[in-house]
Amino acid sequence: MSSATEEKRYIKFSHVGDRETLTEELFQQDGVIGLLMAEDWLEVSYDATKIQWLGIEQIITNNQFVLKSGLLSKWKRSWYQYSDENVRDNFGHRAHCCNKPPK
């Protein structure tokens, strides 16, 4: 795994569900590297080429965790997804050489 594709995300909750189930389910996902959980927040590290933020967010909400609904929180989650899509797309891009003479 490349450190260029490793992402670390921090998210706050307004309602907390079962922590053990959430950590088990997240660690079962291919690409999740680490978790740090406190009373009302979660920090997750993952490889953006293997798992995207929307998948992680879906797992969080499926385990009865409610994410903060403020404008900043929504913007941050949207930015996480946008950034993950860029990492995934750029990782798969094949560069071309510009030093070839024209035909």
pTM, entire model? 0.81
For β-strands 41-47 and 66-67, DSSP reports them as unpaired
C-beta separation of 48 from 84 below 8 A: yes
DSSP, collapsed to helix, strand or coil, labels residue 43 as strand
64-100 pLDDT per residue, tens: 999 999 999 999 999 999 999 988 888 776 766 777 6
| pLDDT in the model for residue 4 | 75
Domains of the chain, start order:
3-68 (3.30.70.100)
**End-to-end Cα, the chain, rounded Å:** 38
Helical segments of the chain, H only? 19-27, 53-62, 71-92
1-50 pLDDT per residue, tens: 557 788 999 999 999 988 999 999 999 999 999 999 998 999 999 998 89
C-beta separation of 35 from 27 below 8 A: yes
